[in-house]
Amino acid sequence: MACLLEGSDLLKSSFINVPNKDKIAHFLFYFIFSILWYIFFKKKYTTKSSKIKYGLVIFMVATCIGGIVEICQYYCTNTRSAEWTDFIANALGSATGLLIIITTTRQRKK
């Protein structure tokens, strides 16, 4: 799991010099993660629940995963540090992805 590897072991791109690129990566990962899970749930369970319920469950799971990763980085590694801003970027990415996918998908007519 890359999130627990030593920081020097991760790929570093010297040609891209963007401030806070790690926060952007956290945001984008959880943005895509949440959208893909939403699409999966909507295809698998089309009539059992509402779009909002799927979104809330996925958001809670994604946020918990992000929190657990940060806790593991704090307690289980000597080379990684836990950051609240990473956790916030994770949650914002998930929420943004879900808001976009929920508002842009239509309910199928029966």
Q: Which residue has the higher pLDDT, 89 or 109?
A: 89
Instruction: Give mean pLDDT, residues 16-31.
Output: 86
Residue 9: per-residue pLDDT? 45
Distance, CA of 89 to CA of 57 (rounded, Å)? 18
Burial of 38: CB neighbours in 10 Å, binned 0-12, 13-18, 19+: buried
pTM over 0.85: no
Distance, CA of 8 to CA of 10 (rounded, Å)? 6
Assess whether pLDDT exceeds 60 at residue 66: yes
Taking the CA atoms of residue 82, residue 86, residue 92 and residue 95 in that order, the dihedral angle to the nearest 10 degrees is: -50
Per-residue b or e along 7-37, where b marks 16 or more CB atoms closer than 10 Å to that residue's CB = eeeeeeeeeeeeeeeebeebbebbbebbbeb
Assess whether pLDDT exceeds 60 at residue 106: yes
- Work out the mean pLDDT of the chain and round it to a whole number: 83
